[in-house]
Amino acid sequence: MIFASFWRAVKQLGDPRFRRVLFLGLGLTVALLFGVYAVFLGLINWLVPDEATIPGVGTVTWIDDLLSGASILFMMVLSVFLMVPVASAFTSLFLDDVADAVEDRHYPQLPRARPLGFYAGLRDSVNFMGVLILANILAFVAYAFLAPAAPVIFILLNGYLLGREYFQLVAMRRLSRDEARALRRNNAGKIWLAGALMALPLTVPLVNLLVPVLGAATFTHLFHRLDRSAPSGGTSPNRRR
């Protein structure tokens, strides 16, 4: 079920709507990272004087230049860890486009889903981005003490977060929030495993940028499979609210 859903998502990567969401997500992500860097650099220039007097050395004028150069390296390293969470959050803003593309091709018999709405999507995206970033920052502590288990921790943590968020967003297009939450809880193990499958490519540069779109598509397929198998489910139109 999970691998079939993932493979279907992979085969649809050439869909123009998939590419549009991918490029929009990447563009907004890069713009945000540059914006954060500009603010960070401006803060350094504001806090650090152009020159300072060091006892035994004299007046030096290169401290702010040194810190500015170090800030470039810092932001490059930070972007490696922030790129995917931020891209995932932005992509969830356009999740309807990916899910619609999947349903148009594979589930044409279904009525049009209820859009999440821009503000609801923005709220969930901001919350998702915050949770992803905070959880991964806190995970660095675990990585330091449990270095050999770091890859497993990374995959399990991000698998849980990706699965929880993407499945909930996809399900809410056709179910109420409470129904979506109940379906997610009843299938927590499968959803976590699917999220872990999405988390694996996060460790591969460039490939990891496909994860947000692949995740949205995979969980759209997974939702329909799980919804059909739910005791009170089925794909009848009266379940699509």
Q: Tell me: the pLDDT tens digits for 99-142?
A: 999 999 999 999 988 876 667 666 776 777 777 778 877 887 77
**What tens digit of pLDDT does each residue of 158-209 get?**
888 888 888 988 998 899 889 999 999 999 999 999 999 988 887 776 777 7
The residue ranges of every structural domain in the chain are 2-18+84-239
Q: Could you identify the residue written with the tokens 């060091």?
A: 54
What radius of gyration do the chain's Cα atoms show? 21
Amino acid at 2: I
Contacts of 180 (CB under 8 A, 6+ apart): 167, 168, 171, 172
Q: What is the pTM of this model?
A: 0.74
Among candidates 196, 142, 195, 144, which has minimal Cα distance to 167? 195
Strand runs labelled E in the chain: 52-54, 58-60
Alpha carbon distance 225, 234 (integer Å): 9
231, 224 contact by CB (below 8 A): no
